Amino acid sequence: MEDLCFMPATEAAALIRDKKLSPVELMTAVLARIEALEPQVNAFAALDANAAMVGAKSAEAALKASDSCLGPLHGIPVTIKDLASVEGLPFQRGSHIEAGNIGGVDAPFVSRLRAAGAIVLGKTTTSEFGWKGVSHSPLTGITHNPWKRGYNAGASSAGAAAAAAAGYGPLHQGSDGAGSVRMPAHFCGIFGLKPSFGRIPNAPVANGDQSSHNGPMTRTVADSALMLQVMSGPHPLDHYSLE
């Protein structure tokens, strides 16, 4: 089962489309991995395990009914950094000021990931409002480097990087203004990309204006390319977004 947790999304998605891998089997393996390691790693600000399993069962039902309309990420788990809104999930941005806040809508790139068939596992930890270069938040505490407990997992996308390195599924979203994707990717030994300005729409605009760019954090370059392709493109809520 552990092998499924480290399977690239490119491979898992192909196996799911060919009906050689069950979305439920994949999700079960990933959730078991999270349950075993998460108290030590602390990569999640909010884990939505029940909804994720419901999503996996729905993905499996859709697969059995038809394979003609499946998205490129059908049945693939994904995490979202807690600086982006996900409808119905905590949106606390690593701060006691926002404690208890719930996202009212999906950010544009979250909607695109869902439309492509991805299943949201939950929200990953971030330093307070993303303004810190170490893996610590006053709200969620320390996110540990999965390679060695007690060591820094990086800047504000540390939860996403730690989750990727620990095998919490293949796809994780981060954001980067001054190294918040690049630092944790480096510290945790994964691949992270800060895309060009406007490549992935950013809405609503955060307190750092458009200085922070959303991007993929994965264990393989090919998985980041796939995730980037899904999230990219213009959106009416971000007039800076690129064709």
**Residues annotated as part of the active site:** 81, 156, 180
Cis-peptide, bond into residue 77, ω within 30° of zero: no
- Are 2 and 167 in contact by the 8 Å Cβ rule? The answer is yes
Sign of the four-CA dihedral 25, 27, 29, 35: negative
For residue 18, give the nearest of 56, 74, 89 by alpha carbon. Answer: 74
Half-sphere exposure of 119 (CA within 13 A, CB side): 30
Separation of alpha carbons 29 and 23, rounded Å: 10
- Are 76 and 171 in contact by the 8 Å Cβ rule? The answer is yes
